[in-house]
Amino acid sequence: MANRFNTKKKTLYEFKKDNRMTRGDEEVVNRENTLSVVKWKNNKGVLMVSTAFGAAPRTQVSRWDKKRKRYIDVSCPAIIKNYNSFMGGVDVCDQMMEVYRTWRKTRKWPVKVIIHMFDLAIVNSWLEYRADCKASNRKSIDIMDLLAFRLSISDHLLNGPPRKRPREDLEFAEMPTTSKYRVKSLPTVDRQYDGFNHWPVFDTLKQPRCCRAPGCSSRSRCRCSKCDIYLCLNKDRNCFFDFHNKD
């Protein structure tokens, strides 16, 4: 922004107005060969400052002309070209962080910095996860979005096994007392395959429930104590084992 420059040195940063420039025109100001200030006219005037790039070398870029109704070649400075080449990294990361940012009201700046670093790590991990899924040709429907990815992390931290696994008496979830039964949602992948506290519980039901294993249409009275879903477990079918094991 032009009004952010030092007002005491107006002669150094006086540029032409946009209406006096044609498309592709540029003005360059170098300050002691360390700072390059470039104003370039595209549809509107663009003002950029850099310590790494300047106007040279200039390249030709294709832009749409409304009057001629066709693409034309426009001279473009090096600082503009490099900005357009790498602008999708930090901008996209900041945009994704703002969607589900962890909010906590506090006046202590170390807490804000730590929370910001956690959000940054989660977004970068999700971007790496999505890149790995696309590299392995996984279907888009099987790739978790950012919200599902954050929920899977929280679910793993809350329900994952501790480092020491004590042999304690486990308290199983009780059956709902109401006559209406609501189908439970499937657990997250981290919870499904963590291999901890998945115990079969046989409920006394008049009518068995539908098995939630993929591809199974049978009914069962066996319920997983941790996932809280019904799975087949008998001499003919063992959906309970198949559901909690990847291989």
Q: Between 78-99 and 109-135, two packed helices, what is the crossing angle to 10 degrees?
A: 100
pLDDT, mean over the chain = 77
For the stretch 193-202, pLDDT in tens is: 887 888 888 8
Q: What is the pLDDT of residue 88?
A: 65
Spell out the long-range contacts of 177-183 with Cβ–Cβ below 8 A and sequence spacing 24 or more: 181/209, 183/210
- What average pLDDT does the segment 161-170 reach? 53
d(CA 59, CA 83): 14
Residue 29 has pLDDT above 50, yes or no: yes
d(CA 226, CA 219): 19
- CB distance 55 to 49 below 8 Å: no
- What average pLDDT does the segment 30-47 reach? 72
- What average pLDDT does the segment 109-138 reach? 89
Q: Where are the domains of the chain?
A: 2-87, 100-158, 194-247
Q: For residue 170, what pLDDT band results from cuts at 50, 70 and 90?
A: very low
